[in-house]
Structure 1
Amino acid sequence: MARKKSFHLTEGELPLMEVLWKKGRATVGDVVTALPADPPLAYSTVLTTLRILESKGYLRHTKEGRAFVYEPIIVQEEASRKALGYLVNRFFGGSCEQLVVNLLKEETISRAELRRIKKMIAESEQGEKK
């Protein structure tokens, strides 16, 4: 049976997107060079993955000379928000509260992080009152 098509970034796609977010635009060769060498990815694998990312709406390409130059059309923050929304819906029944409860129970959160989180909650509550 064929694998279900994912509109979210897969483990194999994310490193390529990270290269493009960092560089802004790049050829397939540029992406191959920027990726970690262990394990190495073949040029054809990177090309295929970039084409998949383009079909998902994450990238677009232009032709410059003989090379295709890829650039992201979704910023990293938007992709992160989409992934987080997917995570909340899939694993926490759409409940942000359950996500936060699980993070607080299972993860080690520093005092500095807790202070920043509390400040953001207070600011959010102030915004609701307006």
Structure 2
Amino acid sequence: MGNVKSTKPTEGELEILQILWSKGEATVREVHEELSVHKESGYTTTLKLMQIMFEKGIVIRDDSSKTHIYQANITRDNTQKQMLGKMVKSLFGGSTSQLVMQALGNSNNAPSREELDEIQRILDDLKKQ
């Protein structure tokens, strides 16, 4: 994936990226159909947003055929790290423990037993370092 300057995707762009990350590649029509399952959105709105994302370098497109095929040009992992870093600094004063306590204490999204086990494994690994 290409090296893109640190452009923070908007909420709408993140929705499109989620689809592209899961599918690998997709046409505007395919992305629009996925988006329409969860929210009301016009095809031309999806098209315009994906064109903007292409101009920003967030996605790449193969325009060798009549139907353009889009792919994410930024990774999910890098995007998560970038956005999380900004959120920890701006919302939690740089405190990762405040972020974790807020996330784990949120009863609307309580972690599953498997997630808690994974979190414990990560904590154990961090303590060993």
Regarding TM over 0.5, the answer is yes
**What TM-score do the two structures reach when normalised by structure 1?**
0.76
| 1:116 lines up with 2:118 in the alignment | yes
Match of 2:71 in 1: 71
In structure 1, the gaps of 5 or more residues are 1-5
Deviation of 1:7 (Å) = 2.9
Whose RCO is larger (CA < 8 A, sep 6+)?
2
Number of equivalenced pairs: 122
Instruction: Report the aligned-residue RMSD.
Output: 2.3
Give the TM-score normalised by structure 2. Answer: 0.77
| Corresponding residue of 1:82 | 82
**Structure 1 residues 56 and 125: CA distance shift in structure 2, 3 A:** farther
Deviations 1:29-69 (A, max 9, x none): 12112222464322221111112222333211121322221
Instruction: Name the structure where helix makes up a greater proportion of residues.
Output: 2
The percent identity for this pair of structures is 32
Unaligned runs of 5+ in 2: 1-5
Structure of greater Rg: 1
Question: 1:58: which partner in 2?
Answer: 58
Which residue number corresponds to residue 12 of structure 1?
A: 12
- 1:111 and 1:46, CA in 2 relative to 1: closer, same or farther beyond 3 A? closer
